[in-house]
Each structure stands twice: as C-alpha cells, then as structure tokens.
Amino acid sequence: MPPRALDPAGVALVDKPSGPSSFAVIAQIRRVTGARTGHAGTLDPFATGLLLVLSGKATKLAPCLVGLNKRYRTEIDLSCRTSTGDPEGKVVERNSPTPEDELSRRLERLRGEIELPIPAASAVKIGGERAYRLARRGVEVEMPVRRSTVHALDVIAYTGGSVTLDVLVSSGTYIRSLAIALGGHCSMLRRTEVGPFSVADAVAPEAFAAERLLPEAEVLARVDAVRAESGA
C-alpha cells in the first residue's frame, strides 16, 4: 500500500457522537482528506465531544498536543458501581443515596495531585495484553496506579443519586477512575476542551470538509500561548 498523502495538512476539531469508536471517526475524516491521519487522544465509544484529528504533515504535531490539559462535563451515577466504571459494564454494587456533605468530602480528596488505579477496561497492557481483553474474559488483575492532576472539579448539579461535574484534568486522567473513587460510575462523558481548543468550534464528522483544517502555524501559536500563560 502506498504511503498516505502529506496534504491536506492541519488539525480537525471534530465533535464525536456517542456510539462509534474514535478510530471509526478518524477513518471517516481520512476518507475525506485522503491523507495520513492521526489523533491527539481518543474517547470511549459511549463518550462524546472534542477529538483533535491530525491530517497529513500535521501528524507530526501529536507530541505537542497529547499532553494538553482536558476539560470534561460528566455525570456520575452514584446509585451503583459497574465493572468498567461506565454504562457499558455490569452492575457490581448498589448504593444508598449519597449525602451532600459526604460527596463534598469525596470530591475534596480528588482535587490536586492524586493517584488512582487505571480502570480494568482500559487499553493499557498488563503482561503484554490489553487490560480490557483480560476484563472481558473475567480475568482479575491488579491495575497499576496513575498520577494525575485535577485542576478543577466543580459541581454543576446534584440530585443525591447523581452528580454532574465540570472537570479540568491533566492528560492521561481517566474520568472513569474519578467516578469509581466517588462511589459510582460515569454515565455521561463529554470532552469540551483540549488545551486551547473547544468543542464549540468543532463540527460533526459528517459535516467535516478539508477547508475546516486548522493550519499548523495557528495550532502551534495557540499551544504556545497556553503554555506561556501557564508558565510551562
């Protein structure tokens, strides 16, 4: 197979719908551009929101983009835990309504520098095999811990049975791990920002056209501005 084209080059801001995998969405963009295509971080099939899809020569920007902070809006169902920490898993524990003061204590423990186990249904490798494949076969393993920074964890709405949160986290943070630590599971997840890029500027996969690609220079300028602002 001949190498993929290096043009058109740029970064597409795509609003992923719930259902298809991130790779299916990336393939959809590739069919439009005909170019080499990459990404700066995927979303689970049930999740929605901002995907940064890199096209052509811009695939080389991946190292500059994957480490950016990410913002999410998420709903945590506190009535039960699931085997995966999301709605696709089996219910493994049912809970009584969580008092507001107890929820506040749990949230406070999750702000700042934290360490949480990676979810069993993740793509990390355990003994050379993807963890989610082991989980599907019912193989229980001790998952490694990942250090993350939770910059913001703000309550938007709370009903006792569920809480809606605005979350700003460092790259590599599993929102499902936060949900498990709060005693429930992630029932809704929407990525709203990746660094300086917003889902408000994104388009649905079927509405994408090559003219929507952000030029490499503009992408780098935005990233540099964010890093200068944060002192990184």
Residues annotated as part of the active site: 44
CA distances from 118 to 31, 60, 111, 157, 210 (A): 33, 28, 17, 26, 36
> 3-state class of 40 per DSSP?
coil
Q: What is the per-residue DSSP string for 80-145? A: EEESSSSTTSPEEEE-PPPPHHHHHHHHHHTSEEEEEEPPTTSS-EETTEEHHHHHHTT----PPE
Residue 87: CB atoms within 10 A of its CB come to 14
> 3-state class of 186 per DSSP?
strand
Question: 145 - beta bridge partners?
Answer: 117
Helix, strand and coil in the chain, % to nearest 5: 30, 35, 35
